[in-house]
Structure 1
Amino acid sequence: MLFLYQDPLGDDQGLAYLYPRAALFREAGEGYADLLAVVGEDRGELVLKVRLARYPNPLEGPLGFSLATVVLWLDTGEGGEETLLPGLHTPQGAGWEVAYLLTGFGAERRTPKGEREGVRAWREGDWVALATGLPPGRYGVYGAVGLFDPFAPWYLRPSSPEGGAWTLAAPPGSPPVVDLLAERPLEQVAAYQTGVLKPLRPKGFALKRESLLAFGLGGVSLLLAFLLRRR
């Protein structure tokens, strides 16, 4: 496993978003847009796996769910596109190079230039997996879940201040997603409030930097001790 990012249970309400009022959504209950985890695996290529809290399927999607859309953006290099969605951006200098949209009807790869192509997706028990076509790597990951809309640009049902039968009710300028990939609730709240979502990165990178820093400090200490003994 290259990485495992977990997201808190029951945080699929945005900043007090109200779900659409159509019977389709009311009858589905709760949790179908609640992201619980994202996994990256090395299977000769990078395979991404997503876990949602529930998988109701009133529209009979072939992947076993039909009311949620998951979007994963990967930071695979320097620079990149810093706009994730309307009302949601990356930190400066930490943009994305490739995105994957996952619905109950399949998966799609997109680039910042608007290029798109279908990719293979399948179920593995309670997980939904997709083949990225990328070499295995410990990339930075942004993630979000919204409500499925086959006619919307990112297959995400839009929001408006007043909401409606088929529209999310959310503050003006809010992104059309009800859950953001963040390992702590306060990080998700901050992302909604500021419009900036931080990527999750493999802990090994941070540990490596810390180890190098500790090694450097240790070397400085040894050098100082050597010089002081010579005086």
Structure 2
Amino acid sequence: MLFLFQDPLGDDHGLAYQYPRAALYQEAGEGFADLLAVAGEAREGRLVLKVRLARYPNPLEGPLGFSLATVVLFLDTAEGGEETLVPGLSTPKGQGWEVAYVLTGFGAERRTPKSEKAPVRAWREGDWVLLDTGLPPGRYGVYGGVGLFDPFAPWYLRPTSPDGGPWTLMAPPGSPPLVDLLAETPLDQARAYETGVLKPLWPQGLYLRRESLLAFALGGLSLILAFLLRKR
């Protein structure tokens, strides 16, 4: 596994969002849009993204075994990029995304900032839902969130409104249509909802920042020089 980002259980209500009032959601119970983890693996030379939700009710009979949630994942793969994630939510300045993936119980799509779409392979492995990005493994910044599935919305995300409704999330004006955000801490998640800016998560371990590699190299050089000077 290249990276694993975990997200708290039971935080799928945005900032006091209220779920739509249609019987479909009342009968489904809680947790179907609760993100627990996003991971990345290298398989056959490509990056595979893995998503885990708390529950997978499937009243609409999605072929991937769930049908009420939509997962959106954005990758920062280069300098610059598109800074708008979804309505009401953006990246920090200069940390935009170059490629996005929309995952529902009915399949997955790859998208670009120019609104280009293409299907990608998605499948289930136990409690994980996976998709093949088609990208080589690399150290990419990751943005992610979960909303409620709407087949007619641009990102397949059910919209928000201050009044809510049978098929609409009740949320403050301008709130993003995501009930859970991938964030480093609950405080970071709350700040993202309050400010409309979500910070990316970056893989650690195998993928070190260029600055960290430089610091490591300089540190090693300093030790070698100190050793040589001591021998004189």
Shift of 1:36: 0.4
SS at match of 2:5: strand
Aligned residues between the structures: 227
Change in 2 beyond 3 A, CA 1:125/1:221: closer
TM (norm. structure 2) is: 0.91
Rounded to whole Å, the distance in 1 between the matches of 2:216 and 2:47 is 32
Q: Which residue of 2 aligns with 1:213?
A: 215
Rounded to whole Å, the distance in 2 between the matches of 1:214 and 1:62 is 48
Rounded to whole Å, the distance in 1 between the matches of 2:217 and 2:95 is 27
SS at match of 1:203: coil
Unaligned runs of 5+ in 1: none
Rounded to whole Å, the distance in 2 between the matches of 1:56 and 1:93 is 38
Rounded to whole Å, the distance in 2 between the matches of 1:177 and 1:77 is 25
Rounded to whole Å, the distance in 1 between the matches of 2:213 and 2:86 is 36
Rounded to whole Å, the distance in 2 between the matches of 1:87 and 1:11 is 19
Rounded to whole Å, the distance in 1 between the matches of 2:26 and 2:115 is 34
Letter in 2 for 1:62: P
Letter in 1 for 2:215: L
Give per-residue Cα distances to partners, 1:53-75, cap 9 Å, x unaligned.
00000000000000000000000
Q: Which residue of 1 aligns with 2:152?
A: 151
Q: Map of 1:122-201 to 2, 5 A cutoff? A: 122-201=123-202
Kept in 2, the 8 Å contact 1:63–1:104? The answer is yes
TM (norm. structure 1) is: 0.92
Kept in 2, the 8 Å contact 1:33–1:147? The answer is yes
Shift of 1:2: 1.3
1:116 paired to 2:108: no
Shift of 1:209: 3.5
Rounded to whole Å, the distance in 1 between the matches of 2:95 and 2:70 is 23
Q: Which residue of 2 aligns with 1:42?
A: 42
Change in 2 beyond 3 A, CA 1:116/1:29: same
Query: Once superposed, which parts of structure 1, at least 4 consecutive aligned residues long, lie more than 3 Å away?
Result: 204-224
SS at match of 2:142: strand
Rounded to whole Å, the distance in 1 between the matches of 2:6 and 2:135 is 22
Rounded to whole Å, the distance in 1 between the matches of 2:204 and 2:99 is 21
Kept in 2, the 8 Å contact 1:8–1:183? The answer is no
Shift of 1:217: 6.5
Kept in 2, the 8 Å contact 1:2–1:138? The answer is no
Q: Which residue of 2 aligns with 1:12?
A: 12
Q: Which residue of 2 aligns with 1:31?
A: 31
Give per-residue Cα distances to partners, 1:78-115, cap 9 Å, x unaligned.
11000001110001111000000000000000000000
SS at match of 2:62: coil
- Percent of matched pairs sharing the same residue: 76
Letter in 2 for 1:209: E
Letter in 2 for 1:19: Y
Unaligned runs of 5+ in 2: none
